[in-house]
Amino acid sequence: MILGVSEWLSEKLGWNVKYIRVAFVISFLFFGTGLGLYLILWIVKMFSK
């Protein structure tokens, strides 16, 4: 998406980036946690370099 979290996470887990993006959208729409999780993972990504 915007900050590169989906691609970073797909490299770490070995999953397809499309599935991770869909999971973020579904978790945002149905559970309301996708945006918060995305931002937390962005912070983790920034400090793991």
Domains: count for the chain:
1
Cα separations (Å) of 44 from 4, 15, 29, 30, 37? Answer: 12, 18, 23, 24, 11
pLDDT band at 24 (very low <50, low <70, confident <90, very high): confident
Average pLDDT of 21-25? 88
**Which domain does 25 fall in, by range?**
5-47
Burial of 23 (0-12, 13-18, 19+ CB in 10 A): middle
Alpha-carbon distance 1 to 4, whole Å?
Answer: 6
- pTM of the complete model: 0.75
What pLDDT does 36 receive? 85
